[in-house]
Chains A and B, each alone.
Chain A
Amino acid sequence: MQIILRRDPGPADDETVLIHMGAGAADVAVAAALRNYRSYRGLSSRGGEFTVSVFAVMAGVTEAMILDAMPHPQFGRARFAAVRDRFALLPTTVLGTPVPDEVMAAHFDVVLPAAGLVLPPDFDPSEAEDEDLDGIRAVLIASVAELLALFEPRFRR
């Protein structure tokens, strides 16, 4: 998975809506964060980042465009300011995905805090034993729960 950091200051308006697709399942978000960790090593002062994908309704990208591009029957909305106040966001474009370019242009990664985790620079979850990942999952699940709560309630479309 190749990721580039856009020269994008992010939404100019704190009221900008961010969309998190899905029903808000923390285990799915944590699984993706573990899988994709190393893909962020070029954007990180560590060996990677644990992240969750969101999309911003901005710069001509509408909520309808985001929803049309995704198969999830549910989604949640949060204000940009509410997320930014508690998490770092990276304006990232993930290359080579089937997601339409115009929607990917509004993709942001929310960086999950991993307080208490001391990982070596070359840590690679894909090489770790599952029992070694359990402690990381426990830390991430708390961060993900805090993040996904900002996207409540969930809406069906």
Chain B
Amino acid sequence: MKRLLIDYSLIGHGRKFELTLLRREREGLEVGSRVEVVGDSVPPRIAEVTAVSPDEKVFEFAFAD
């Protein structure tokens, strides 16, 4: 499972969020893929890809836990 470092300062307590992913991060990800999300001192969580932008750079996630 891929591991993504994220800044929760722009997510807060939201259940859904969008990220622009770097080339290596988005390899192999598609709608339905699950990733481990790691923030700065926030315990790791699992999130699922729910949508991908047409240019395949911006991914929408929803926390799965």
Contacts and interface: CB of A to CB of B under 8 A. Distances in A.
Contact of A98 (B5, B12, B40): B12
A71 B21 contact: no
Interface string A5-36: 00000000000000001111101110110111
B57 to A, nearest CB: 5
Nearest to A21: B9
A70 B41 CA distance: 12
Interface size class of A (residues with CB under 8 A): 35 or more
Which 4 A/B pairs are nearest by Cβ-Cβ distance?
A98-B14, A22-B40, A32-B7, A23-B41
Interface in A24-62: 24-25, 27-29, 31-32, 34-36, 38-39, 53, 55
A129 B23 contact: yes
A100 to B, nearest CB: 7
17 contacts: A22-B7, A22-B8, A22-B42, A25-B40, A27-B5, A28-B7, A28-B40, A32-B6, A32-B7, A32-B10, A34-B22, A35-B20, A53-B9, A70-B9, A72-B42, A96-B18, A99-B9
Contacts of A32: 5-7, 10
Interface string B6-49: 11111111111111111110000000000000111110000000
Contacts of B13: 69-71, 98
